[in-house]
Structure 1
């Protein structure tokens, strides 16, 4: 059996989650938008190391319970360790969330950056809906990749020289047609929720804007999370894009852009980034 990819990405996942949300915004969602005043039972599809549980539980009414499901055995082990000494009711299940069935046990079903990796995201959404009691909620925190890509500013560099939005948009659209996986699913979920029969569907956008300014010593805690990885060996990177139906010219440009961005952004480079994560929710 091949290793589960995300089991090897725990540190990356922990770093990157710092970029997405302000806690006061999540608190606003819970208390002013979702109007959660009593303890709730939550199931998290593709919970990873329990990121959403760590964000939600401190803000939810005391006695709330969190159940995380993920196929990554190492992720689940790490989640159990993180939650071991926390004062919250939690349970973690190592399993494929598309094969585990819950019978209307929960008040809220959530997922975070999961549906974009699914060949059939509607299947997962149907399972999430089926796990929730009548009048409960389904909520999906998912990205809109081309919007995310537009949310970067590196001080001293024109964005177009490191983030070619047009060819990235076409690449994401081709990926969807080729694989069914949709990196832009976040902006489409309100339509999918309506078509699944959820009521009172809304979509909000995270207000988190990350600021790294070394001259003012601002954002030093998120510098590591904002770093851009080196694209690696040139020919292998270009070959991978050719397989995703980019032209040779586009693939070469994409390599040069990502390589330039990884080299340009250092601890002395000021930058801002707004992920603009979409948060879609509806009532069963």
Structure 2
């Protein structure tokens, strides 16, 4: 059995999580938009180390419960360790959320950065819907990759020299056709939610803008979360892109862009980044038959 990839990415997941949200915006959603004023039971599909639990539980009404599901043994153990000393009702399960079944047990079903990795995200969404009680909510925090890539600014750098948006968009679109996995799913989810029968569907955009300015005692944590890895050995990198449908010219350009970006974005480079995470939500309404009646 192959190692579960995300089990080896815990530190990356913890660093990157800081880029996505302001806690006051999450509080606004809970109190003013979702209007959650009583304890709720939450199931998190693909919970990782429990990031959404850490975001939501301090703001939700006292007594709320959080159940996290992930296939990563290391991730679940790390989540249990984090929450062991926290005053919340939590449970973490090592399982494939695409095979486990819940029937109308939860007030909220949530996921974060999960659907973009699914070959059949609609199937996952159907399981999330099935897990929620009548008038409960399904909430998906998912990215729009090309929007993310367009939302960097590196001081003193022409952005097109390090992030070639046109060929990246083509790459993402080809990947979707080839694998079913969609890094641009965030802006499509409102339509998917509606087509699956959810009601009162809305989509919001996280208001977090990350600012790294070394001349003003910049936050080293922001830099560490934003910094880019060197693309590594050239021939291997280009071979992968050719297999994904890029031309040789495009693949070479992509390599040079990523190599340049890994070199120019140093602790002395000012930068801003608006991840613009898309937060889509809808309400489950099921037909409730009166006692003694039968379906038509």
Bin for the TM-score computed over the shorter chain = over 0.9
**Counterpart check, 1:124 vs 2:137:** no
Q: Secondary structure of 2:98's match? A: coil
Distance in 1 (CA, whole Å) between partners of 2:84 and 2:223 is 29
Conserved 8 A contact 1:30-1:60: yes
Distance in 1 (CA, whole Å) between partners of 2:57 and 2:68 is 12
Which residue number corresponds to residue 12 of structure 2? 12
Distance in 1 (CA, whole Å) between partners of 2:221 and 2:17 is 13
TM-score, scaled to structure 2: 0.95
Distance in 1 (CA, whole Å) between partners of 2:278 and 2:54 is 19
Distance in 1 (CA, whole Å) between partners of 2:217 and 2:191 is 42
Distance in 1 (CA, whole Å) between partners of 2:21 and 2:219 is 14
Q: Map 1:11-30 to 2 at 5 A.
A: 11-30=11-30
Deviation at 1:222, TM superposition (A): 1.3
**Counterpart check, 1:165 vs 2:157:** no
The CA deviation string for residues 159-207 of structure 1, in whole angstroms up to 9 with x for no partner, is: 0000000000000000000000000000000000000000000000000
Deviation at 1:105, TM superposition (A): 0.4
Distance in 2 (CA, whole Å) between partners of 1:198 and 1:163 is 36
Which residue number corresponds to residue 199 of structure 1? 199
Which residue number corresponds to residue 228 of structure 2? 228
Q: Secondary structure of 1:222's match? A: helix
Conserved 8 A contact 1:20-1:206: yes
**Counterpart check, 1:186 vs 2:186:** yes
Aligned residues: 284
Deviation at 1:103, TM superposition (A): 1.1
Distance in 2 (CA, whole Å) between partners of 1:219 and 1:250 is 35
In the alignment, structure 1 segments of 5+ residues that lack a partner are none
Conserved 8 A contact 1:44-1:109: yes
Distance in 1 (CA, whole Å) between partners of 2:273 and 2:98 is 33
Compare 215-224 and 17-26 and name the one that shifted more: 215-224
Distance in 1 (CA, whole Å) between partners of 2:134 and 2:73 is 31
The CA deviation string for residues 10-60 of structure 1, in whole angstroms up to 9 with x for no partner, is: 000000000000000000000000000000000000000000000000000
Which residue number corresponds to residue 107 of structure 1? 107
Distance in 1 (CA, whole Å) between partners of 2:151 and 2:209 is 9
Distance in 2 (CA, whole Å) between partners of 1:96 and 1:221 is 32
The CA deviation string for residues 79-106 of structure 1, in whole angstroms up to 9 with x for no partner, is: 0000001000000000000000011100
Distance in 2 (CA, whole Å) between partners of 1:164 and 1:152 is 12
TM-score, scaled to structure 1: 0.99
Distance in 1 (CA, whole Å) between partners of 2:263 and 2:6 is 26
Distance in 2 (CA, whole Å) between partners of 1:4 and 1:41 is 28
Distance in 2 (CA, whole Å) between partners of 1:15 and 1:153 is 19
Conserved 8 A contact 1:210-1:219: no
Deviation at 1:219, TM superposition (A): 2.8
Conserved 8 A contact 1:63-1:89: yes
Distance in 1 (CA, whole Å) between partners of 2:21 and 2:230 is 25
Which residue number corresponds to residue 141 of structure 1? 141
Q: Secondary structure of 2:14's match? A: helix
Q: Secondary structure of 1:163's match? A: coil
Distance in 2 (CA, whole Å) between partners of 1:163 and 1:100 is 40
Q: Secondary structure of 1:68's match? A: strand
Which residue number corresponds to residue 87 of structure 2? 87
Distance in 1 (CA, whole Å) between partners of 2:219 and 2:134 is 43
Q: Secondary structure of 1:215's match? A: helix
